[in-house]
Amino acid sequence: MSGYLKDGEWHEGSDGYAEDDGTFQRWETDFRDWITPDGSPGPDGQNAVKAEAGRFHLYVSYACPWAHRTLITRALKEIEDIIPISVTHWLMRERGWTFDDGPGVVPDPNEGAGTIHELYQIARDDVTGKATVPVLWDKKERRIINNESSEIIRIFNDGFSELGANDIDLYPAPHREEINAVNERVYEDVNNGVYKSGFATTQEAYEEAVEPLFDTLHWLEGRLEGQDYLVGGQLTEADIRLLTTLLRFDAVYYSHFKCNRKRIADLPNLHRYTLALAGREEIAGTINMHHAKHHYYQSHKSINPTQIVPVGPDLQFG
């Protein structure tokens, strides 16, 4: 497993991934500033900078479902020319996410960083935590604006309205309460649930995670009966946040993370929903299952010591 930063120094190893009882622990993100059209504070009073053309850069991994959210939102809002990207290599080992040469890798044009953790060290010399993606970078001030995917997608939704973003609203005011409620359950039981199952180190911790995962998948299956979207009859951020996990489920989480009670292909409404969203032109261009499969099966040596990447399943997207 990859390393971590402590007081600005990079350490190899997987410290911090599991508690003493075997349950998975996710480190909190701590770069939480905002970008707004006029530089006014963020929606909860966060420090903010004004949206400017050519100022910001997004660092992602195609493999990472959290980073994938930001790529999808960036494409749906048509801000690719405003927010250029760099893409890491799929393999994450002792150096964390790297820009080592490989198919699909887009190097860092700003700092010449060879790894993501170097950006964290530039941004804050005493930083402690995981060096995760996505990273929304401020080129002018050489710092991380935000590394929390759920906030970056909201920044992209309305922060660049004066610079050419389209008027699609993925977080519409009339539906925010319901979106938030769906997001909360999906995050806890599905987005993070697959990780809690896969990285559990005791049978009890695994079963405590995998049961609510499938309870919530069946709840989503019922919710999608006769409808195309989770909330309000329209595409919202709730769909984007769920989709990135669904795309990886049958190919990775079902086997690699032992989430094998059912496949998404066995749940007709979720399967239909996944294929329909993945088939949208904007979203299809963000899917890279080669990166996703090779990342999980080759990076997690404690789970898959042979590092063999399965040839299947034959998916209809990506």
Q: Which residues are catalytic?
A: 64, 195
Which parts of the chain are beta strand (E)?
A: 4-6, 9-11, 34-36, 48-50, 56-60, 85-87, 135-138, 143-146
Question: How many whole angstroms from its chain centre is CA 223?
Answer: 23
- Per-residue pLDDT band at 16 (split at 50, 70, 90): very low
The pTM score is 0.95
> What is the pLDDT of the chain when averaged over all its residues?
95
- Per-residue pLDDT band at 317 (split at 50, 70, 90): confident
* Residue 11, pLDDT score: 95
Give the mean pLDDT of 69-88.
Answer: 98
- CA gyration radius for the chain? 19
Which residues have a Cβ under 8 Å from the Cβ of 115 and sit 6 or more positions away? 95, 96, 97, 98, 99, 131
Residue 22 has pLDDT above 80, yes or no: no
Residue 111 has pLDDT above 90, yes or no: yes
What's the one-letter identity of residue 170? Answer: L
CB atoms within 10 A of CB 292: 23
Name the CATH superfamily for 4-158. Answer: Glutaredoxin (3.40.30.10)
Question: How many whole angstroms from its chain centre is CA 84?
Answer: 17
Structural domain boundaries in the chain: 4-158, 173-280
Inter-residue contact 17 to 199 (CB < 8 Å): yes
- Per-residue pLDDT band at 306 (split at 50, 70, 90): very high
Nearest 5°: the CA angle 62, 67, 21 is 105
Give the mean pLDDT of 80-95.
Answer: 98
* Residue 30, pLDDT score: 83
Give the mean pLDDT of 280-309.
Answer: 97
Give the mean pLDDT of 232-259.
Answer: 98
Furthest C-alpha separation in the chain: 52
Q: In what order do the strands lie in the sheet with 143-146?
A: 85-87, 56-60, 135-138, 143-146
User: For a pLDDT cut of 90, what percent of the chain falls above it?
Assistant: 93
pLDDT in tens, 170-209: 999 999 999 999 999 999 999 999 999 999 999 999 999 9
Q: Which tokens belong to 176?
A: 């925010």
pLDDT in tens, 135-174: 999 999 999 999 999 999 999 999 999 999 999 999 999 9
Q: What is the C-alpha separation between 236 and 176, in angstroms, rounded?
A: 10
Residue 1 has pLDDT above 70, yes or no: no
Closest CA to 84 of 108, 62, 63, 119: 108
Closest CA to 26 of 163, 115, 150: 150
Instruction: Say if domain 173-280 classifies as CATH 1.20.1050.10.
Output: yes
